[in-house]
A and B are shown apart, each in its own frame.
Chain A
Amino acid sequence: MLTKDLVRTKRDGKRIVPLFLKATPAVRAVCEDLLLFWREGLGKTRGELLDQVTPILYRARSLVMSRGLQKLTVDACRFTDPANAAEMRWQALTASARVLAQPAASAAAHQATVASELGLAVPELDAGLYADLPQEARLESAPDWSADALIARYNMSLVQGLVLRCAELELTVIDDDVGRRRQLLKNLRFQRLLAELRGSGEELRMRISGPGSVLAQASRYGLQLANFVPAITGLKQWRLRAEIAGARGGVSDGGILELSHEDGLQAVNRFLAYQPEELRELVAALHSRAPELSLREDGELLVVPGGELVAPDLRLERGTAAPIRIELFHRWHRHALARRLDQLAAGAAPELVLGIDRSLAKLKEVVPLLEHPMAVQRSFLFSGYPTASALRKLAKA
């Protein structure tokens, strides 16, 4: 992510417009030079490399831009742990302390005496004493990105650097693909953000913020919001609006950020609309055994009291009857299960049924939960993934 001193924008009235990099030959050349410089620097120290890279940075039309590109590149580099100089240092420091009781006439004479006590030459002592500082670490690997990949990362980081300074996002999702919506909602929940939802059908409007955003504590969620941004780019079409606070906490240099899918932002790790193989098999099995039922991934969000977003996994349609929405709990969901049972008991989400994996149900701390009235009334067990017969039973119940 770019720090605020590296975020390049221009103003258009009240709007803040990020200065996205276009893959022009000149920009590509800077990116290629930078990437090549770091790839060729394997084995050199961080300090050396940072000194030597300067001419490349100044070759760019904008130093702020090239420093941003450099930051993203260096962040992805791996450096060796510097040599451990602590033992030699301790010997030198204790020797120095002894000699210091009767100080020499000059620091140089003192240094020479200490070096001699340790059986070292002065340059060896000088170089070795703090040889384990970060700038002494040696480059082990550098990213193998193309110039275009670096530009894509830069543009995403530019937006994230701005979103860090906002309290909420207004997102319009124009995409009815269940899988993509689901990934978006999962990411929202992962970042522990909340959303006010409006609209239906293809267009969904979301006002995304943190739990305390309704109070005067909004700035705390900037990092979560910034981390959420890449998930948006997995959608087919979207619009984003955010009020950006001033870089120094004031409002004078703040403004409105407006973006859409047309800006061409790309997430490095795209959140793909992946449909698991088990689901495809289950849909086919159910279709052959119970054609009156249909099953699909559930892309709609449920908000339960307490503000938690629930993204049911499956939606079981059964003709004119109300659909059943199913949330699956595997072994790694054990903390969420107890909470969800309490939420159901409090009257939340009457259409929700819980599927509990047997490997979870066997856990010592989960066994008592199976006696919970809601577990008795509104859950079923499965192994790995629900079966067609389990869903048929559920539909009849």
Chain B
Amino acid sequence: MPSVITIRFDQGTLVLEGVDDAVAQALGDLVVADERIRAHRASAHDYAALLRALHGRYEYRDEAKAYGELLLNERAPMAMRPYQRAALEAWEMAKRRGVVVLPTGAGKTYVALRAILSAARSALILVPTIDLVQQWATDLEQRLDQPIGRYGGGDRDLQDITVATYDSGILIMPSKGNRFGLLVCDECHHLPAPATAAAAMACIAPFRLGLTATPERTDGGHHALDGLLGSIVHRVDITELEGNYLANYQAEVLEVPLDEDEAQIYQENRERYLSFVRGRGLDFSRPDGWQRFIAEAARAPDGRDVLRAYREQKRISRASRAKLRMVWELLRDHAGERCIIFTDDNATAYAIGRAMVLPVLTHHTKGAERKKLLDAFRSGELPVMATSRVLNEGVDVPEATLGIVVSGTGSVREHVQRLGRILRPRDGKVAVLYELVSAGTGEAYTSQRRREHTAFGELEIDLEQA
């Protein structure tokens, strides 16, 4: 007589006791014999598949599941936009698993809310930043008759519906990964990174929803989303919604020549650094190109000067005096408009903040002040804000109409997300994204790379090749 199989949740995995050889064979790859505990072990993420394999065939006791069904009510149900309804239906058809790709500003949060209502299970929503924890939790509190937990940035309140940062998700999954039946991952292009992927693997939630505007990753990591959340079930491009559900927008590149003295310093330093690179046959297109450069510079007698030269030419191209003057000119041209100034690094953001007496939002900004500044920006009390990367994703600022990219990486995703910050629709709104590029510097190439997306013109390329 075969014994009853017991399934327990154990530190982000499932332990199965009472599995004999015949059952183990039937369960195949789902379980692994764990000699250390004289039992079998399975990935928490395979919980649903495991129950399907056991159900009706073997007697089992499920001690893993610690979530229940929820009776949820939306306070004031809204009509879904057609593409939102199509996304939700596609997700439901795919057994409530999969990724929905919608442009920023298209109402992904509302799709998630309807998915939570549809699943009617305890739900954990993972988001990349503390600002988004607050934004999601506030939004859900307004729409649902349900306390909403917040986890991350000092908050440790776990409720049946909880919003947490990805970093907190990594910490809580080993102990709480069995408390949720639905896992929602906002900006889910973050998920394939090893640590965050492990968090999704350590959760037993059978229902999973990924949300993103930009699923593709240049490292090919987006393929892992299929296993972690399910495949893409619905996708809408930014150009399909412009003018109807998103604001009309213009994206303009402004070439800014360096001042004569800065141009000379730039050239001298660039030549100094490039001659070192060429002389040692370093190739930055190789994955270890940067590490090799640093290692060579650390060994070389003139390495310190080379590194200084590298930093100086980079500093000038990213934050030249001429660029800062151009920022001011644009602020004058668009006086009264709500504007976000994006930079690649904190130093430039603070340099602009000091020179123009503007609020700066970086990871150094403490929680309470961050909220105060964002609220003041939304209300118009502080109409202009500088930031390095923390506002790249997700934060909802419908009133912003103007974006100025002072510097950035070559990442298409970053650039599309920055555009997304100003695309929330409002009557008659035309959003403008300016991108400042130091003329005659290496920035031109970086700018070209990040604009290889349909949002910035006709050019459409395979992002895996980008």
Q: Give residues in A with beta carbon < 8 Å to B.
A: 5, 54, 58, 62-64, 86, 89-90, 92-97, 100-103, 106-108, 110-111, 114, 125-126, 129-130, 133-134, 192, 194-196, 209-212, 214-217, 219-220, 248-249, 303, 305-307
Q: Is the CB of A305 within 8 A of B359?
A: no
Q: Contact partner of A133 among B32, B355, B364, CB < 8 A?
A: B364
Q: Which residue of A lies closest to B369 (CB)?
A: A86
Question: Given contacts A97-B383, A211-B11, A307-B15, are A111 and B287 in contact (CB under 8 A)?
Answer: no
Verify if B328 is at the interface (C-beta below 8 Å from A): yes
Verify if B39 is at the interface (C-beta below 8 Å from A): yes
How many angstroms from the CA of A54 to the CA of B360 in the assembled complex?
A: 29
Q: Which residues of B contact A63 (CB under 8 A)?
A: 297-299, 303
Verify if B94 is at the interface (C-beta below 8 Å from A): no
Q: Is the CB of A129 within 8 A of B354?
A: yes
Q: Contact partner of A93 among B10, B195, B288, B357, CB < 8 A?
A: B357
Tell me the minimal C-beta distance from A111 to chain B in angstroms: 6
Verify if B457 is at the interface (C-beta below 8 Å from A): no
Q: Contact partner of B15 among A5, A64, A306, CB < 8 A?
A: A306
How many angstroms from the CA of A152 to the CA of B17 in the assembled complex?
A: 45
Q: Which residues of B contact A249 (CB under 8 A)?
A: 194
Q: Which residues of B contact A90 (CB under 8 A)?
A: 372
Q: Which residue of A lies closest to B33 (CB)?
A: A214
Tell me the minimal C-beta distance from A345 to chain B in angstroms: 13
Q: Is the CB of A217 within 8 A of B357?
A: no
Q: Which residues of A contact B11 (CB under 8 A)?
A: 192, 210-212
Question: Given contacts A130-B360, A248-B287, are A211 and B369 in contact (CB under 8 A)?
Answer: no
Question: Given contacts A93-B359, A96-B358, A305-B17, are A215 and B41 in contact (CB under 8 A)?
Answer: yes
- Scan residues 354-374 of chain B and give those whose CB is less than 8 A from a CB of chain A: 354-360, 364, 366, 369, 372-373
Q: Contact partner of B195 among A64, A110, A214, A220, CB < 8 A?
A: A220
Q: Which residues of B contact A62 (CB under 8 A)?
A: 298-299
Q: Is the CB of B382 within 8 A of A94?
A: yes
Q: Which residues of A contact B201 (CB under 8 A)?
A: 212, 215, 217
How many angstroms from the CA of A103 to the CA of B332 in the assembled complex?
A: 6
How many angstroms from the CA of A34 to the CA of B10 in the assembled complex?
A: 45
Sorted from nearest, which 3 A-B pairs have the closest CB atoms? A307-B37, A63-B298, A96-B357
Q: Please indicate which of the listed interface residues A86, A97, A195 has the most CB atoms of chain B within 10 Å of its own CB.
A: A97
Q: Please indicate which of the listed interface residues A195, A210, A211 has the most CB atoms of chain B within 10 Å of its own CB.
A: A211
Q: Is the CB of B34 within 8 A of A214?
A: yes
Q: Which residue of A lies closest to B307 (CB)?
A: A63
Q: Which residue of B lies closest to A111 (CB)?
A: B357
Q: Is the CB of B358 within 8 A of A211?
A: no
How many angstroms from the CA of A92 to the CA of B354 in the assembled complex?
A: 10
Q: Is the CB of A100 within 8 A of B12?
A: no
A-B contact sample (14 more), CB < 8 A, given A5-B294, A63-B303, A97-B383: A96-B356, A96-B357, A97-B381, A101-B336, A107-B325, A114-B357, A130-B354, A212-B13, A212-B202, A214-B34, A214-B41, A215-B43, A219-B198, A248-B288
Q: Is the CB of B383 within 8 A of A220?
A: no
Q: Please indicate which of the listed interface residues B356, B382, B383 has the most CB atoms of chain A within 10 Å of its own CB.
A: B356
Q: Is the CB of A303 within 8 A of B36?
A: yes
Q: Is the CB of A129 within 8 A of B39?
A: no
Q: Which residue of B lies closest to A346 (CB)?
A: B17
Q: Which residue of A lies closest to B34 (CB)?
A: A214
Q: Is the interface of B mostly helix, strand, loop or mixed?
A: mixed
Verify if B8 is at the interface (C-beta below 8 Å from A): yes
How many angstroms from the CA of A203 to the CA of B358 in the assembled complex?
A: 66
Tell me the minimal C-beta distance from B7 to chain A in angstroms: 12
Q: Contact partner of B198 among A95, A211, A220, CB < 8 A?
A: A220
Q: Is the CB of A305 within 8 A of B38?
A: yes
Verify if B455 is at the interface (C-beta below 8 Å from A): no
Verify if B400 is at the interface (C-beta below 8 Å from A): no
Tell me the minimal C-beta distance from B307 to chain A in angstroms: 9
Q: Contact partner of A215 among B13, B295, B350, B383, CB < 8 A?
A: B13
How many angstroms from the CA of A79 to the CA of B41 in the assembled complex?
A: 46
Tell me the minimal C-beta distance from B334 to chain A in angstroms: 10
A-B contacts counted at CB < 8 A amount to: 139
Q: Which residue of B lies closest to A304 (CB)?
A: B37
Tell me the minimal C-beta distance from B285 to chain A in angstroms: 15
How many angstroms from the CA of A97 to the CA of B376 in the assembled complex?
A: 10
Q: Which residues of B contact A64 (CB under 8 A)?
A: 295, 298
Q: Which residue of A lies closest to B332 (CB)?
A: A103
Q: Which residue of B lies closest to A95 (CB)?
A: B357
Q: Which residue of A lies closest to B331 (CB)?
A: A103
Q: Which residue of B lies closest to A308 (CB)?
A: B37
Verify if B384 is at the interface (C-beta below 8 Å from A): yes
Q: Is the CB of B357 within 8 A of A196?
A: no
Verify if B335 is at the interface (C-beta below 8 Å from A): yes
Question: Given contacts A5-B291, A103-B332, A133-B364, are A196 and B15 in contact (CB under 8 A)?
Answer: no
Q: Which residues of A contact B358 (CB under 8 A)?
A: 93, 96
Q: Which residues of B contact A86 (CB under 8 A)?
A: 366, 369
Q: Is the CB of A58 within 8 A of B355?
A: no
Question: Given contacts A97-B383, A101-B335, A195-B36, are A211 and B10 in contact (CB under 8 A)?
Answer: yes
How many angstroms from the CA of A93 to the CA of B335 in the assembled complex?
A: 16
Q: Is the CB of A130 within 8 A of B350?
A: yes
Verify if B263 is at the interface (C-beta below 8 Å from A): no
Q: Is the CB of A303 within 8 A of B356?
A: no
Verify if B427 is at the interface (C-beta below 8 Å from A): no
Verify if B42 is at the interface (C-beta below 8 Å from A): yes
Q: Which residues of A contact B297 (CB under 8 A)?
A: 63
Question: Given contacts A58-B304, A211-B12, are A307 and B36 in contact (CB under 8 A)?
Answer: yes
Verify if B35 is at the interface (C-beta below 8 Å from A): yes
How many angstroms from the CA of A192 to the CA of B11 in the assembled complex?
A: 9
Q: Please indicate which of the listed interface residues B17, B35, B298, B335 has the most CB atoms of chain A within 10 Å of its own CB.
A: B298
Q: Is the CB of A100 within 8 A of B383?
A: yes
Q: Which residues of A contact B303 (CB under 8 A)?
A: 63
Q: Which residues of A contact B354 (CB under 8 A)?
A: 126, 129-130
Q: Is the CB of B36 within 8 A of A194?
A: yes
Q: Is the CB of A107 within 8 A of B43?
A: no
Verify if B123 is at the interface (C-beta below 8 Å from A): no
How many angstroms from the CA of A104 to the CA of B373 in the assembled complex?
A: 23
Q: Is the CB of A214 within 8 A of B383?
A: no
Q: Contact partner of B37 among A94, A126, A217, A305, CB < 8 A?
A: A305
Complex A-B: 5 CB contacts under 8 Å: A96-B358, A108-B355, A217-B12, A217-B13, A307-B37
Q: Is the CB of B364 within 8 A of A110?
A: no
Task: Give 1 or 0 for each of B43-87: 1 = CB within 8 Å of chain A CB.
Answer: 100000000000000000000000000000000000000000000
Q: Which residues of B contact A248 (CB under 8 A)?
A: 287-288
Q: Which residue of B lies closest to A4 (CB)?
A: B291
- Scan residues 291-314 of chain B and give those whose CB is less than 8 A from a CB of chain A: 291, 294-295, 297-299, 303-304
Tell me the minimal C-beta distance from B49 to chain A in angstroms: 13
How many angstroms from the CA of A305 to the CA of B19 in the assembled complex?
A: 13
How many angstroms from the CA of A2 to the CA of B156 in the assembled complex?
A: 29
Tell me the minimal C-beta distance from A21 to chain B in angstroms: 16
Q: Which residue of A lies closest to B287 (CB)?
A: A248
Q: Which residues of B contact A94 (CB under 8 A)?
A: 376, 381-382
How many angstroms from the CA of A114 to the CA of B355 in the assembled complex?
A: 11
How many angstroms from the CA of A253 to the CA of B199 in the assembled complex?
A: 26
